[in-house]
């Protein structure tokens, strides 16, 4: 039994036709049919029932083909790892991003990756900080864009950029006439925050004291878009990171915004990875490309 034999039976299962399977595998039909027949004899089972009505995969064949797919997929991954060892900028890399970064940052660098790192394929995953860190440590993820520095000893990070916080409030609010705004200006307002588990919530809380009386403590959201729409509905005010300010939605929703003047009203964004990750060159190249797509509203130094 060879890996090529497994590729043959997977192709026949996909096409339900020996001729088309042979064409997809770039061999003649007699060659493919002969190898599958030998494999059936070697295993002592029938994988395919042949009849004038076509080809049907037997029950045993279905089980074997499921395993064969796993084996051929594993072989492709092995080749990818080997290629990456020879060229760190080739192969596949898995990248995690937190929800308050992903939708605003990915569009800024994905095309540059495709044009500048043509041999590198990136698999994206959006999740909250704790789960991304767990995935990094376990090896499920290679790198992650996070808004907190790594605490685990097995992780390290490259600083990507510093992102100021902006206050969002309805048009016509008393703050509309102010050029500068601080959190003390909204100490009596309902400041709407993301649900627990989002690091941006913790960062927002670190620069503001929640008012003693909260009329709408039940209002919690899992996305910045929901918070913004709640503000547009007159439910309070909220904070958003600078990259989320791009796009002109403040005009569409009749909202106003100001960059906060409070000291420390910003967050540092990191590209975090395992210290033992062998493809540091790919991580650094990824960091450079991410920085290249950033607007002037964030600082990269």
Sequence spans of domains, the chain? 3-86, 91-161+266-293, 165-259
165-259, what's its fold?
D-Maltodextrin-Binding Protein; domain 2 (3.40.190)
**CATH class of the domain whose range is 91-161+266-293:** alpha beta
Specify the pTM.
Answer: 0.65
Domain made up of 3-86: CATH architecture = Orthogonal Bundle (1.10)
A 10 A CB-CB count for 125 gives 15
What does the pLDDT profile of the chain (301 residues) look like in tens digits? 999 999 999 999 999 999 999 999 999 999 999 999 999 999 999 999 988 888 999 999 999 999 999 999 888 878 877 777 778 788 889 999 998 889 889 999 999 999 999 888 899 999 988 999 999 998 889 999 999 899 999 999 999 999 988 888 888 787 887 888 887 787 777 777 776 555 566 556 555 555 434 444 445 676 777 887 887 777 778 888 888 886 555 556 778 888 888 777 888 999 999 998 988 999 999 999 999 999 887 877 6
Q: 170 φ, ψ to 5°?
A: -65, 150
Question: Regarding beta strands 266-274 and 48-51, do their DSSP bridges make them parallel or antiparallel, or are they unpaired?
Answer: unpaired
| Within this chain, domains 3-86 and 165-259 share the same CATH topology | no
How far is 246 from 297, CA to CA, in rounded Å? 10
Range 213-218 contact pairs with CB under 8 angstroms and sequence separation of 24 or more: 214/190, 215/190, 216/190, 216/192
């Amino acid at each position: 039994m060879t890996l090529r034999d497994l590729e043959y039976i997977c192709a026949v299962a996909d096409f339900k036709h020996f001729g088309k399977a042979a064409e997809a595998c770039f061999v003649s039909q007699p060659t493919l049919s002969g190898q599958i027949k030998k494999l059936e004899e070697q295993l002592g089972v029938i994988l395919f029932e042949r009849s004038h009505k076509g080809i049907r995969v037997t029950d045993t064949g279905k089980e074997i083909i499921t395993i064969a797919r796993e084996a051929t997929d594993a072989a492709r991954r092995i080749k990818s790892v080997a290629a990456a060892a020879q060229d760190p900028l080739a192969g596949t890399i898995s990248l995690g991003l937190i929800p308050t970064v992903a939708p605003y940052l990915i569009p800024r660098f994905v095309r540059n990756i495709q044009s500048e790192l043509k041999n590198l394929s990136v698999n994206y995953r959006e999740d909250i900080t704790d789960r991304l860190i767990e995935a990094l440590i376990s090896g499920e993820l290679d790198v992650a864009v996070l808004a907190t520095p790594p605490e685990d000893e097995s992780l390290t990070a490259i600083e990507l950029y510093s992102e100021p916080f902006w206050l969002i409030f309805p048009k016509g609010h008393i703050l509309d006439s102010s050029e500068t705004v601080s959190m003390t200006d909204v100490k009596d307002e309902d400041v709407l925050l993301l649900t627990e588990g989002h690091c941006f919530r913790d960062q927002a809380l670190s620069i503001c004291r929640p008012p003693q009386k909260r009329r709408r403590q039940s209002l919690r959201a899992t996305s910045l878009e929901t918070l913004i729409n709640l503000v547009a509905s007159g439910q309070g005010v909220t904070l958003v990171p600078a990259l989320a300010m791009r796009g002109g939605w403040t005009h569409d929703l009749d909202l106003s915004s100001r960059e906060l003047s409070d000291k420390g009203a910003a967050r540092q964004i990191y590209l975090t990875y395992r210290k033992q990750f062998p493809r540091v060159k790919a991580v650094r190249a990824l960091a450079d490309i991410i920085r290249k797509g950033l607007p002037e509203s964030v600082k990269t130094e």
